A and B are shown apart, each in its own frame.
Chain A
């Protein structure tokens, strides 16, 4: 029971390693692109110089100057690459540190060891930070990462750019998000994203809202027609807006004019952004919490007389409320908890029944009796009995 299943738990850690590796990869790709482009240009340049020199249209001194210019361009490229190289190092190191953290986990033996508790706490902080970042709380997330010394285990800076795009969408501006689409064009195509079309639609809707029909038509020609093969139906819907004012109650135009579409855009951007960066679509905190709460939830949690202050689900204000709609746990095996001491009753600490049928642990009852002249009080009924009257209970 207390043995750890490493492989199962490790297999949950895909994003933890995948995210930095993919960032590493994309920085490499960027530097590669820069290098190939500039070096290609310079190769051409050198053969051009060579040709001119052979033809005699370039003096050796001019050749020297031209070569000097090439050296300068190479130096400029080198400076440009410095930042990208720094990213490469950052993400490769981050990958390494995370792999090491998982390796440390693989050496932990049991669930009740201090090492596991520590690892568990780090995991909690990791997924809470992820939750905070998605929730827009970058300040507390950064503070927490710093105070727990786990900056390398979280990806705070990756949320900085996306926050800017989201803020712009909140201000009802598509420009930043369109720019983001452009930068990530090829990857968005891979996940069959329709975000760009939704943004174009929205910009058109805003023109229609202001009744700037001429501009709207020009916009549609330029930005909507490229999508006609796949989105003809949507395009004809928005074009219809030109005939209907923003106050219309007519379907589907009322829905198209609805400002809540901006929230949908934010949601669409988020899910695209998460997919591109290998973040899970929903926070890991939620799914882990759901699994944990359901595993802990019993019918007793919602009966005040059975409340256990140590049980997370028993708190109606916090986790009990979160667990409300989740399934109850299910058990084929009994486990009996002493209501006096909170200890598990088993062969080492037998369950004992008082004459009134209430069951407590041997340890708790004998301790109570030793302080009260051999008498025990049932905490749930107030009845008093002699310890000699209690009876062993057998739970098979």
Chain B
């Protein structure tokens, strides 16, 4: 990679040289010079013109060469890129796998940006129910979010979410900040519900009432953090996603990150399969194993260490008395079909019978 950067820097240097020493300025200069010479000595006009003709030609040749040289170095560079970046991603594509699923893909993308907190992008890209609440939050309108949080109080509390409290608190602080004393006092009742769980902070919140008008110079100034509104948005989307069963990490992010890592293998596989006139995307199962990082393994996979086959309902994993697990079919082979036949575990010296083996569920 470094070599490619160095090579491109050479191209850039040539470009800059052309830029600082504009070839047209050079031409303009020599024509102007001839003009002045003729004005100074009209009798030598023919000589001056002959000189001009020659130098104009030679300068324009130089210009043309410089320009061509830069151009050919870019062309060469562009060709060199083809050698470095060789993977043809399109080898691995099935152009029809997502046919008629454009809406689903758009929705997935939109949800991704909502979780990222980039609501504007998500919002412009697709419409969903959560967007309106978030849009209101962005305008400092806590109403819709509060309405939602109150409706889901039980579920939120089960997740020990403090969203509802935080929303009420924010509303109350808005009133304090805008010096609506009576409204703030009236609103304090709403906060009472959370009095036991957030005792100390609720006391401080009430204390704010003493400083209305100069709250930012009071001991409670810290309650008015500048990014409190961002935090609430983030908290809201996180809780919203969790409540409607959305995952911790963006599914689009997970899928694309796994996909990027898998691409080189997929391209190789797809190219080999194309040569045999088959399509990887038409198979029921990939012919190669794609290794996943631990954080992207979501389901237990049991591959029998004896047969290398993946366990299925018909061929479930069985644990022998020694604790080693193999698939049922392998077990049947080891005991030669006789459940009371004693055999040695392939992985330790212990002997047992197939009848003693137990189904395990991962």
Instruction: Enumerate A1-57 residues with CB–CB distance to B below 8 Å.
Output: 1-2, 5-6, 8-14, 16-18, 21-22, 24-25, 28-29, 31-32, 35-36, 39, 42-43, 46-47, 49-50, 53-54
Q: In the complex, are the beta carbons of A60 and B35 less than 8 A apart?
A: no
Q: In the complex, are the beta carbons of B90 and A11 less than 8 A apart?
A: no
Interface string of B284-295 (1 = CB under 8 A from A): 111111111111
Instruction: Enumerate B84-140 residues with CB–CB distance to A below 8 Å.
Output: 84-90, 92-95, 97-98, 101-102, 104-109, 111-113, 118, 120-121, 124-125
Q: In the complex, are the beta carbons of B93 and A295 less than 8 A apart?
A: no
**Contact-residue size bin, chain B (C-beta under 8 Å from the other chain):** 35 or more
B-binding segment of A116-124, A226-234, A242-250, A257-265 = A116-124
Instruction: Please give the distance in Å from B24's CB to the nearest CB on chain A.
Output: 5
* Minimal Cβ-Cβ distance residue in A for B116: A121
A10-B1, A11-B264, A327-B280 known; A322-B104 Cβ under 8 A: yes
Instruction: Enumerate B254-306 residues with CB–CB distance to A below 8 Å.
Output: 254-264, 266, 280-303, 305
* Minimal Cβ-Cβ distance residue in A for B106: A135
* Minimal Cβ-Cβ distance residue in A for B26: A74
Identify B257's interface contact among A10, A18, A292, A306, CB under 8 A: A292
Looking at chain B's contact residues, the main secondary structure is helix
What residues of B have a CB within 8 angstroms of the CB of A63 in the complex? 38, 45, 49
* Bound CA span A137–B1, Å: 33
Q: In the complex, are the beta carbons of B255 and A292 less than 8 A apart?
A: yes
**Contact-residue size bin, chain A (C-beta under 8 Å from the other chain):** 35 or more
Identify A88's interface contact among B2, B15, B319, B324, CB under 8 A: B15
A81 on interface, CB distance cutoff 8 Å = yes
What residues of B have a CB within 8 angstroms of the CB of A393 in the complex? 319, 323, 325, 360
A195 on interface, CB distance cutoff 8 Å = no
- New A-B contacts (17) at CB < 8 Å, excluding given A21-B77, A70-B31, A111-B293: A5-B264, A9-B260, A12-B87, A14-B87, A28-B67, A50-B52, A53-B45, A120-B253, A128-B112, A139-B124, A140-B125, A280-B89, A289-B98, A294-B266, A312-B255, A325-B281, A357-B319
Interface pairs (8), CB distance under 8 Å: A32-B71, A67-B31, A71-B35, A78-B28, A89-B15, A280-B90, A337-B362, A393-B325
- Residues of B with Cβ closer than 8 Å to A? 1-2, 4-5, 8-9, 11-12, 15, 19, 22-25, 27-28, 31-32, 34-35, 38-39, 42-43, 45-46, 49-50, 52-53, 56-57, 60, 63-64, 67-68, 70-71, 74-75, 77-78, 81-82, 84-90, 92-95, 97-98, 101-102, 104-109, 111-113, 118, 120-121, 124-125, 245-249, 251-264, 266, 280-303, 305, 308, 310, 312, 319, 322-325, 347-348, 358-362
State the 8 A-B residue pairs at the shortest beta-carbon distance, nearest first. Answer: A292-B259, A311-B298, A312-B251, A14-B85, A60-B42, A8-B264, A288-B259, A292-B255
